[in-house]
Amino acid sequence: MTNHWVDIRNANLIIVMGGNAAEAHPVGFRWAMEAKIHNRAKLIVIDPRFTRTASVADFYTPIRSGTDIAFLSGVLLYLINHNKINREYVEAYTNASLIVRDDFRFDDGLFSGYDEATRSYDKTSWNYELDENGFAKRDLTLAHPRCVWNLLKTHVSRYTPDVVENICGTPKADFLQVCELLGETSAHDRTASFLYALGWTQHSVGAQNIRTMAMIQLLLGNMGMAGGGVNALRGHSNIQGLTDLGLLSQSLPGYMTLPSDKQADLQTYLTANTPKPTLPGQVNYWSNYPKFFVSMMKAFYGDKAQKENDWGFDWLPKWDKSYDVLQYFDMMSQGKVNGYLCQGFNPVASFPNKAKVIASLSKLKYFVTIDPLNTETSTFWQNHGEFNDVDPATIQTEVFRLPSTCFAEENGSIVNSARWLQWHWKGADAPGEALNDGEILAGIYLRLREMYANEGGATPEPVLNMTWNFLTPENPASEEVAMESNGKALADIVDDKGVVLAKKGQQLSTFAHLRDDGTTSSGCWIFAGSWTPEGNQMARRDNTDPSGLGNTLNWTWAWPLNRRILYNRASADPQGKPWDPKRALLHWDGAKWSGQDIPDYSTAAPGSDVGPFIMQPEGMGRLFALDKMAEGPFPEHYEPFETPLGTNPLHPKVISNPAARVFKSDLEAMGKAEQFPYVGTTYRLTEHFHFWTKHALLNAIAQPEQFVEIGEKLAGKLGIVQGDTVKVSSNRGFIKAKAVVTKRIRTLNVNGQQVDTIGIPIHWGYQGVAKKGFIANTLTPFVGDANTQTPEFKAFLVNVEKV
């Protein structure tokens, strides 16, 4: 989130689209309800199904799954055509006025630079036209035909209300009603907040769904404002912490990038990742990249990391391609992987195309699972009749099960959607032989280190040189790990006037004190400030709220630097006056910014050209994304890989995302509408948490049996009544479940045909105390988003029959 949970109550309009917060985030959803009650906010829900969130909304309208880019691009067109934008904000704070290279093109569904053989783009032309100093050219009058503003207008001009209705199946009048309500928040004293989660991310166009919404927020002037922003409602309680700490295959902690194998030395790597400003005088915060990186290497390798050995650069793994989970399982399916350590992950249940997952695991030599529960994955080799019809005699994989604790059985911090690092305390001892995850990993690490020390090996350095300064090496305390993430001074740190900022050995209080000369260490630069000389900031529990905006700066700690609303400089106009006095976050006192939040920057005076989007080299919010997205600098509607239309009404030659993560064998195995005429979509229920709670009797009683939801009209046509057992099949397999016949899923009119949706809750399986059920992911396709590789769980093709 750019904003935070409590801040949702400051919105005048809340749009839940691509999520079902009342069901999946019932505690956080109270802030949406508070906005309704105390702020007279309107709540809109746009979802293929009439959900529990829709049941408390002021307005609901349906949409065909996988078509939100068309809807949101239609909103962009409406806002532009009806002048429902914050014009001053758009001109000063977005890249609308910057001029794009003259070889940039968009034609018939493809942007310039596409290579069909590799299904990827050469993005050279997706850039600004630069002047002789390397700065982007700009036309403040917005008249230049190639300024971002005019390219955007041309790009979205195709998404008229009729086109939106034709692609999305949303009635035109409903669509216009949403546009009108959103347009009202272009006023300086009104904001809108979008609450989204998987209904947007789990598509082959997931990241672009979110980008399109972010562009709307920029046009409305809602970024940086209390009650505005881009707010992902994250899933697992610490999934924000996962990306913060760089647990994706091409990431390092603090959103740094793991070097690629083309970056053979430190200097090449740092140059590639340290941007120069593309407009004069910008903060361009990533220019500090070398400080973050060297400090991280000092945390990793301690005294072993020295300037002479490039701080241990050669010890980091280098990627040749993304090793996302789709890639990894595809490699496994080809027999290219020997062993797999699976920690807190149940891919047989949670990953697409169960048959492919089981076949892949069956090709491993060994498999290790670290989990408190007995999962479908740890027993993938067992025959469970029609739920898992495998022959154990043919599977040679050796399986090791390491029982772990659960989060409530240890101290630690959890990063929530709001970027708050909240400390929590152990609630109970773990049963049986369970060890906590840190202890298990330390045990594996220490044994590996011993083996490398005794026997050598191909590249022993990364393991042998790692620092491991914990009081109990075989069981590092959460407190020690947290302090290491924050970082400390390795020598006295002084400013340019010689004033001591941090004494040698002291915890750092801010990442502004990080150095690139080896005198500071910090395991995750964005966490610097979470554990200072004053102690554990994450354990603070003072909820006083002097601003009344809910920022509670003394409650726990938010990265970066305890800032609660990102890009908060944009909450005031270029002259420094808050757009809305009721939402004033900052003020200029003549020398610096201060106020109800931690300012993005302290000393750039009002009226200066320093942009509020401090992480971008041009300091501006991007309506044109340059080369940051895989499939284009503007969002474009592409159909799901399994589309009920069999075409893309906008450009029949380019049907689905041309840069999506998909492998040839899976592409060829996509189902067709002739055989599988209905749209399948999967989702969760309040009463269960994924596949864990079927181990708990009370949850199993609350939702006792696997079911699928079928709209009344389709059920009537197929002769299915409530309680019938039905078989739902896709090109990858079938499940059987009870039919729930409902008014909540409507038949939609799309591109001259009728489209029906089948709703499939995900929570069942065959381990635990609940009544056994089929794995929903038997049905789903092995294809993912082009940027995040998140699987397309929300739109695929199925057939339904009564059995």
Ligand X SMILES: Nc1nc2c(c(=O)[nH]1)N[C@H]1C(S)=C(S)[C@@H](COP(=O)(O)OP(=O)(O)OC[C@H]3O[C@@H](n4cnc5c(=O)[nH]c(N)nc54)[C@H](O)[C@@H]3O)O[C@H]1N2
Do 520 and 295 meet the contact criterion of CB atoms below 8 Å apart?
yes
180 to 219: interface string for Mo ion, x by CB under 5 A: ----------------------------------------
* Using rule CB under 6 A, residue 465 touches ligand X: no
In this complex, which beta carbon is closest to Mo ion, that of residue 56 or of residue 406? 406
Question: Would you give the DSSP letter of residue 621?
Answer: B
Question: What residues from 213 to 252 belong to the interface with ligand X (CB under 6 A)?
Answer: 235-236
Q: Quick one: which of 106, 407, 445, 601 contacts ligand X (CB under 6 A)?
A: 407
* Buried/exposed code over 662-678 (b: 16+ C-beta within 10 A; e: otherwise): bbeebeeebbebeebbb
> Which of the listed partners (Mo ion, ligand X, none) does 794 bind, with a CB threshold of 5 to 8 Å by partner kind?
ligand X
State the DSSP H helix or E strand holding residue 697, giving kind and residue range, or none if neither: helix 697-702
Element holding 240 (H helix, E strand): helix 239-244
Q: In what order do the strands lie in the sheet with 366-371?
A: 339-343, 366-371, 398-403
Tokens of 573: 């106009």
For residues 342 to 361, the per-residue mask of contacts with ligand X, x marking binding by CB under 6 A and - elsewhere, is: -xxxx---x-----------
Site for ligand X (CB under 6 A): which residue of 5, 18, 74, 781?
18
Report the candidate in 336, 319, 320, 318 with the shortest Cα–Cα distance to residue 328: 336
β-strands 110-111, 661-662 pairing: unpaired
243/742 with CB nearer Mo ion? 243
Cβ-count burial of 699 within 10 angstroms (0-12 exposed, 13-18 middle, 19+ buried)?
buried
| Chain-centroid distance, C-alpha 525 | 20
Cα gap 436→409, rounded to integer Å = 8
Position 653, amino acid: K
Q: Which is nearer to ligand X, 343 or 675 (CB)?
A: 343
Min dist. Cβ of residue 340 to Mo ion (A): 21
Size of the site for ligand X (CB under 6 A): 53
Among positions 552, 681, 730, 788, the unique one binding ligand X when judged by CB under 6 A: 681
Pick what 19 binds: Mo ion, ligand X, none; C-beta below 5 to 8 Å, kind-dependent.
Answer: ligand X
Query: Residue 407 binds which one of Mo ion, ligand X, none, with CB within 5 to 8 A depending on kind?
Result: ligand X
Q: How far is the CB of 577 from ligand X (least distance, A)?
A: 36
| Residue nearer to ligand X on the CB measure, 282 or 379 | 379
Shortest Cβ distance from residue 377 to ligand X (Å)? 8
Task: Verify binding: residue 344, Mo ion, rule CB under 5 A.
Answer: no
**Candidate residues 113, 161, 171, 235; the one interacting with Mo ion per rule CB under 5 A:** 235
Select from 45, 40, 72 the least CA-distant residue to 56.
45
Q: How many residues bind Mo ion (CB under 5 A)?
A: 1
Contacts of 353 (CB under 8 A, 6+ apart): 666, 732, 777, 778, 780, 781, 782
Selected from 6, 13, 14, 17, the binder of ligand X by CB under 6 A is 17
Name residues whose C-beta falls within 8 Å of residue 409's C-beta, 6 or more positions apart in sequence.
Answer: 426, 427, 428, 429, 430, 434, 436
Contact with ligand X (CB under 6 A) among 776, 783, 798, 800: 776
Residue 404 near ligand X by CB under 6 A = yes
The binder of 626, among ligand X, Mo ion, none, by C-beta within 5 to 8 A per type, is none
Tokens of 60: 């609901």
User: Cβ of residue 684: shortest distance to Mo ion, in angstroms?
Assistant: 9
Please state whether the peptide bond connecting residue 578 to the residue before it is cis, i.e. omega within 30 degrees of 0.
Answer: no
- DSSP secondary-structure letter at 772? P
* Range 286-345, binding ligand X (CB under 6 A): 343-345
Q: Mention every residue, 6+ apart, whose C-beta is less than 8 A from residue 336.
A: none
Residue of 69, 198, 421, 585 interacting with ligand X (CB under 6 A):
198
Nearer to Mo ion, 402 or 762 (CB): 762
Q: Which does 802 bind (CB under 5 to 8 A by kind): Mo ion, ligand X, none?
A: none
**Which residues contact Mo ion by CB under 5 A?**
235
**Which residues contact ligand X by CB under 6 A?**
17-21, 24-25, 46-49, 51, 63, 65-66, 68, 197-199, 202, 235-236, 343-346, 350, 370-373, 375, 404-407, 437, 681-684, 686, 688-692, 762, 776-777, 780, 793-794
